[in-house]
Structures are given as C-alpha cells and as structure tokens.
Structure 1
Amino acid sequence: MFKKITITSGERGLLFRKGSYVKMLQPGTYRLKTFQEETVTVMSTAEPFFVPEMDLNLFLQDEELLGQLAVVQVQDYEYVLHYADDRFAELLTAGKYAFWNVLKEHKFVTVDVREPEIVPGVEPTVLPKTAGFWYMQEVASYERGVLYYNNVLQRELEPGKYYFWKGPVTAAVRTIDLRQQQLDLIGQEIMTEDKITLRLNFVCQYRITDPMVALEFKDFEDQIYILLQLMLREYVGTLKLDDLLRRKQEIADFILTRLSEKSGEYGVRFLSAGVKDIVLPGEIKDILNTVLLAEKKAQANLIMRREETASTRSLLNTAKLMDENVTLYRLKELEFLEKISENIGNISLSGGSNLLEQLNALVSSKENG
C-alpha cells in the first residue's frame, strides 16, 4: 500500500520510518510505503524549524538538512537578537534554535548579559520589541550617577538614560543631587559658658562637588548634620550669653570657615551658614526684657532732661533778647494777643469805650508797668 504526498516549493518534508527520522524531502510528489509505517512531516520554510517532542540534535546529523538551516546556540548567560532579512524578528533566550535559511537570510547578534549595559551598538528600535528583558535607569541633568554591578562600583555616569539587560548580574545606579542643598539644625540645645541652656536654630547651604567621595559616607546628610552640630557646641560653649547675642555673625563666619576646612573630606563645597534664631528659656527672657525696659526708661529720662534743659536755655535767651529790644517785646505781646483771640468765642466789653481803645489801654498798661 502506498500513500501519495506533495511538497510545494515553500515547504520541506521530514521522512520518518517507524518513528525514526530518515531524511529531508525536497519539493515534489512522493509515494509513502504505508506497510513500512512511513510518515512525512511537512514544514513551512517561513517558520522556525521545530518538531514537537523531538530533540533538534536528531535532525542536525543530516548534512543535507543542516545545509538549509541556520542554527544558533544560546548559552545561559546570553541573549541572541535574531534578524531575518536584516529586520529584527525576536530575542532568543538560552537554548538551541534552527531556522530555514531558504526564503530568508537569518543573522544573529549575541549579547553577553554578564555585562548588562546595553551598548550603543544595539539599535534603539530593538528595545520596544524586547520589553521585559531589560530595564532603564535615568540620571537627571542636575545629577551624577554611580554605576554598580552586583553592588561593586563600576564608574561614574553623566546625565542621560541607561539601559541594562536582565540577567545574572544586577545593575544599579545611585544618583547624587548636585544642586545647592540646605541643612537646617532646629532647636539645638546648647549650654553657654555661663551655664545658660538655650536653643539655637542654624542653617547651612552646600553643594556636592565630588559624588564619588560623598558616596563613601553612609547617610551622608546625617554625617554633615552631626559635623555641624559638634562645631556649634564647641564654639557656643566658649561664649557667655551676652557675647553670643552680640556676635551672631561671628558664629556663622567661624562655622563656615571650619566647614570649608572639611570640604575635601566630604566632597562638598560649603556656600553659606548663619544663625536663624536664638531661643532663650522663659525666665532668662523675662530678665532680659526687664533689663531692656530699664535701659529704655533710662534713655527716655535722659532725653527728657536734655529737652527740658534745651527748652529752658531757649526761654532764657528769648528773655534776654526781649529785655534788650523793646520792639521785639512788643511783637511778642502782639503774638500772644493773637493766640488769645483765636481761642475766644465771645468778647464782652465794659464801659463806653470801643474794643480798640481797650486793647490799646491793655498794651499801654504793660508798657507803663
């Protein structure tokens, strides 16, 4: 008994006899010997070479078949980018693959994921088609990045986007902000030389200049905080309260100078520092307010005494001038009469004389006196 089968130009056949592979069949018509249990698996040359439940290596012993296949072996630590007719087709993971090299030309680009960074040689158009096999890390324009492979330092990264393959080596990027930053010390309780405990609010601005040095510190900002705190305690502890209140700017200058001496050790540049507030205990504040009130009262009394003295001296000078000058004396009288007239609502006249005569009499009596 025979069975007829036809293989077209876009196909190839795999002849099996009693379940064992015999050879590849080119396009054409064949008669199968059914009594010998011959079967044919017809495969499209446009599809990958794959026979279910059979190992690929069984077929690669056939030299004629092997000549029409493109075979690629992918190791556990590799990805392979598969191109068909110079167009990206797929990403291959660990395993062995075969493709018909009849209608299309197949090329393969092997990537060793033990070096996880995706190099510029990989076309950007490939990445959207391989989602899930890579991840991206970004370094902003105001940052610097530091690259680690499995927690081992590799190099510093400039601003930009970086892509890494998922694999046995984990890539991580730590970023350092290079913008000006501010550190606030709020409510620092410090004792002065005269044993007065106060609370100090201090501020410091800085900018990281060497990310590699800064990354050597665990909890970098906390380290700067403690350094600043110790310097403040050291300096304020040598001052009495009155000196501290008078020399606030000197404190800032001293701290900034000391911090600048440490710049190289921390990889930063300290830009400015200053005392924001000095908060005194309630009883000390009451005492200072009492002292201030007494000082202001004394100043006010002193000013009043000076004004009274100046006023008396002015009156004395005026009196001397009036004694020496009759015309001035008369003008002064007229000035007083004018002021009196401004404040009078009604004028009552006695006798038969008129107002002008009475005023003349009043002025004449002053002259005679």
Structure 2
Amino acid sequence: MVHYGCAKTDSGGIECFVEFKESTSARLSVNRRKIGAMARFIELLATIGSFILMLVTLPFSLCFTFKVVQEYERAVVFRMGRLKGGAYGPGTFFVMPCVDNCVLVDMRTVSFDVPPQEILTKDSVTVSVDAVVYYRIKEPLNAVVKIANYSHSTRLLASSTLRTVLGTRSLAEILSERETISHTMQSSLDEATDPWGVKVERVEIKDVRLPVQLQRAMAAEAEAAREARAKVIAAEGEMRASRALKEASDVISESPAALQLRYLQTLNSISAEKNSTIIFPLPVDLLAPFLSLGQHQFRQPLPHTS
C-alpha cells in the first residue's frame, strides 16, 4: 500500500514523502502461496518416493497399485488429502501406494426402514407410523466430500421429515391419502439431500397403528353406520314390495279367474312339500250373503204374546 504526504521541516521548508506499507491481506496471500508451493513440493517428493517404492517392490506392488471398480461402483481418489480429478470407474485404474487413498461408493438403490414414529396428528390423535425409503447416489464426489456419513444422515432426515409431514395431517387424511403423503415426503427429502449427491427415489408408508381404544371406537362407529344403512335398505325394499303387491292386487281384482288360478297355484306349491295338513282359505266374499241374512233376522222385532 502506498501513502503520500508532506511535512514542514525545521528550516521552514516543505518535505514530501512516499511510504510503502504492506497490507494484511497481501501478507496473507503471500503466506498462502508459500504454503501452497511447499505442499506441492512435498506432494511431488512423496509421489516420486512412492513411484520408486513401487519399482523396487515389483511385481508385488501391482496388487496395490491397480484397483478394480465394479459396474455399480465409483471410486473417489485422494492424493495427500487432495481430491484427484473426478470419480473413477467402472473398470481398472492406477493409484500410487502410500500416497493415494481410494473411497468406493455404491451407486445401486438402497432401501431402509424408518423406525416407528409416535406422531400427534392435527386432530390430536396419537398414531405410530413407519415407512420405507429408497435412495441412490447420483453424485459420488458430493457424497464423499460434502457429507461425513450420507446413509446415517439420510436416515435421520427421513425420520424427522416423517414426523413433520404427518403432524400437519388429520387421522382421516393419513389413512386415506397415503400416496399423497408419500409424494410430499419424497419431494422434501430429495430437496434436502440434493447437495449431498443423494437422490431419494421413493417413499412408502408401511403401517399406521392406532390405539386399541380408538380401534374399538372406530369399529363401533362403522358397525352403527352399517346397521343404519341396512335398516334404510330394508325399509326401501318393503316399500317397493308393498307397491308391487298393490299393483298385483289391482290386476287380480279386474279378473276373478286370476284369483282362482292364484289359489290353485298356492295349493299346488303346498302339496309339493308333502304336508299332512293343508289349510284351505275361505274367501270372505262367500260369507257375505250369510252375514247379511243374519243381520236382517236379528233386526226383526220379536212377536208379542198375550
């Protein structure tokens, strides 16, 4: 940093000066460059020593210098603590012994069970819910560099997300809208784990366990609802049957022969069951003349005797 200034001298004159000062940021940058150059020099020496050691111990060193990565794996290599390029694999690649550190990352889909969570729903009902989460690694570098243990972190995040999402739903919504809740959880988890290089593919609600008292209350409610529907259906059936009987009686009343045929058909159905007793219904119309005659005789005055 450069400073300009002027000052009076003892003789009365004016003296100008230019002062050069080194700022703190400049000193820090210089120190960083020195440390970086020293680190690169040490890394170069270590690499050369590792290469010489590999040449001396041939062919045994080939067992440690060549790495094989499967189709479903990726390798992240660190040289003296620094990340070396991108992810390696699948296939074979070369590493320096004692200098390079190789970390394998499985790219296949992994599933785990979320432990049962005691959740208080929106309508103040305590339920126990467990789920299954399916995820995979899409960025091996982020999964190794940006998170210490991506598997454990994803499990903890899934448990907290399950409690958060279900805490905003009522019991009826939890029981009837499982697919919607699963999609909501999957979106929340995928957004949170994206910086870690983890892709949450699917979330499924396995089981929702209710308290025993609540199960009994819901069973009694469902049974009462079914009984009410059964009574309504029976009443509707009786109403339709009475209407059909009324229409049938109107048709039979128009033809006396129809009533006789119906009477004979009833006798035929009774005799087919081999009953020892047969009841013959007597139409009231046959008794009407006798009833009217009896009433006429009862109304005549008795003869007077002297």
Cα gap change, 1:366 to 1:77, in 2 (>3 Å): closer
Cα gap change, 1:292 to 1:217, in 2 (>3 Å): same
Q: Which residue does 1:284 correspond to in 2? A: 214
Cα gap change, 1:281 to 1:77, in 2 (>3 Å): same
Write the distance in 2 (CA, Å) between the matches of 1:220 and 1:337: 86
Aligned partner of 2:136 among 197, 207, 214? 207
- The one-letter code of the counterpart of 1:161 is T
Note the residue ranges of structure 2 that are not aligned, 5 or more in a row.
1-47, 287-306
Q: Confirm or deny: 8 A CA contact 1:176 1:211 kept in the other structure.
A: yes
- Confirm or deny that 1:236 pairs with 2:194: no
Q: Which residue does 1:249 correspond to in 2? A: 179
Q: Which residue does 1:111 correspond to in 2? A: none
> How far is 1:328 from its partner?
3.4
TM-score (norm 1): 0.55
Write the distance in 2 (CA, Å) between the matches of 1:293 and 1:319: 39
- Confirm or deny that 1:268 pairs with 2:198: yes
Note the residue ranges of structure 1 that are not aligned, 5 or more in a row.
1-74, 82-90, 94-128, 349-361
- The one-letter code of the counterpart of 1:173 is C
Q: Which residue does 1:186 correspond to in 2? A: 115
Q: Which residue does 2:240 correspond to in 1? A: 310
Write the distance in 2 (CA, Å) between the matches of 1:327 and 1:78: 119
Cα gap change, 1:281 to 1:322, in 2 (>3 Å): same
Cα gap change, 1:133 to 1:268, in 2 (>3 Å): closer
Aligned partner of 2:252 among 314, 322, 333? 322
Q: Which residue does 1:174 correspond to in 2? A: 103
> How far is 1:366 from its partner?
5.5
Greater gyration radius: 1
- Confirm or deny that 1:157 pairs with 2:88: yes
> How far is 1:199 from its partner?
0.8
Q: Confirm or deny: 8 A CA contact 1:191 1:197 kept in the other structure.
A: yes
SS at match of 2:77: strand
Aligned residues: 235
> How far is 1:217 from its partner?
1.2
Q: Which string of whole-angstrom CA distances, capped at 9 and with x for unpartnered residues, describes residues 79-108 of structure 1?
A: 489xxxxxxxxx645xxxxxxxxxxxxxxx
> How far is 1:327 from its partner?
4.2
More strand by share: 1
Write the distance in 1 (CA, Å) between the matches of 2:49 and 2:142: 37
Q: Confirm or deny: 8 A CA contact 2:116 2:129 kept in the other structure.
A: yes
Write the distance in 2 (CA, Å) between the matches of 1:77 and 1:163: 13
Write the distance in 2 (CA, Å) between the matches of 1:272 and 1:184: 12
SS at match of 2:111: strand
Q: Which residue does 2:17 correspond to in 1? A: none
Q: Which string of whole-angstrom CA distances, capped at 9 and with x for unpartnered residues, describes residues 303-324 of structure 1?
A: 2222222222222222222112
Cα gap change, 1:344 to 1:221, in 2 (>3 Å): same
Cα gap change, 1:336 to 1:148, in 2 (>3 Å): same
Write the distance in 1 (CA, Å) between the matches of 2:213 and 2:277: 64
Q: Confirm or deny: 8 A CA contact 1:143 1:159 kept in the other structure.
A: yes
Write the distance in 2 (CA, Å) between the matches of 1:263 and 1:328: 83
- CA RMSD for the aligned pairs? 3.1
> How far is 1:233 from its partner?
1.9
TM-score (norm 2): 0.65
Cα gap change, 1:368 to 1:228, in 2 (>3 Å): same
Cα gap change, 1:151 to 1:300, in 2 (>3 Å): farther
Q: Confirm or deny: 8 A CA contact 1:134 1:164 kept in the other structure.
A: no
Alignment of 1:30-179 (within 5 A): 77-79=50-52, 92=56, 130-131=59-60, 134-135=63-64, 136-155=66-85, 156-164=87-95, 166=97, 168-169=98-99, 171-179=100-108
Write the distance in 2 (CA, Å) between the matches of 1:206 and 1:324: 79
Aligned partner of 2:229 among 295, 299, 313? 299
More helix by share: 2
SS at match of 2:84: strand
> How far is 1:150 from its partner?
4.5
